[in-house]
Amino acid sequence: RKEVEQDPGPFNVPEGATVAFNCTYSNSASQSFFWYRQDCRKEPKLLMSVYSSGNEDGRFTAQLNRASQYISLLIRDSKLSDSATYLCVVNGRNTPLVFGKGTRLSVIA
């Protein structure tokens, strides 16, 4: 089983739609979690950290389920500019960040 698994997509959604991505991780000792965004031919950039209680940043909501070892990202009211690859990232104590392969999102006008 891969350490971090994501549905590669692509997810093709119309503007204004709500879309959700899930990510599962295998290491139960993982302690911190992130969602990164990567635009075509650009470096990844942090979208948001994921906290145990769940957190929201504008149209974006991240959730963590430790018991089931999955993380989710919800995007509401999708914009064309949300089109990108979304990377799930998991970290343990004194270990390198582990990236999922990413989920591609295309928002269509």
Partner 1 sequence: GAGVSQSPSNKVTEKGKDVELRCDPISGHTALYWYRQSLGQGLEFLIYFQGNSAPDKSGLPSDRFSAERTGGSVSTLTIQRTQQEDSAVYLCASSQWDRGLMNTEAFFGQGTRLTVV
By the criterion CB under 8 A, which residues form the site for partner 1? 31-32, 34, 42-46, 49, 87, 89, 91, 93-102
Q: Considering beta carbons, is residue 15 or 39 the nearer one to partner 1? A: 39
How many CB atoms lie under 10 A from the CB of residue 100?
25
Bridge partners, 86 (sequence order) = 37, 103
- At closest approach, how far in Å is the CB of 45 from partner 1? 7
Instruction: Give CA–CA dist 90/4, Å, rounded.
Output: 7
What is the DSSP track for 47-73? EEEE-TT-EEETTEEEEEETTTTEEEE
Q: Considering beta carbons, is residue 16 or 46 the nearer one to partner 1? A: 46
Q: Measured in whole angstroms, how far is the alpha carbon of residue 91 from the centre of its chain? A: 14
Q: Considering beta carbons, is residue 17 or 106 the nearer one to partner 1? A: 106
- At closest approach, how far in Å is the CB of 90 from partner 1? 11
- At closest approach, how far in Å is the CB of 68 from partner 1? 21
Q: Considering beta carbons, is residue 74 or 98 the nearer one to partner 1? A: 98
3-state DSSP percent of the chain in helix, strand and coil, to 5: 5, 55, 45
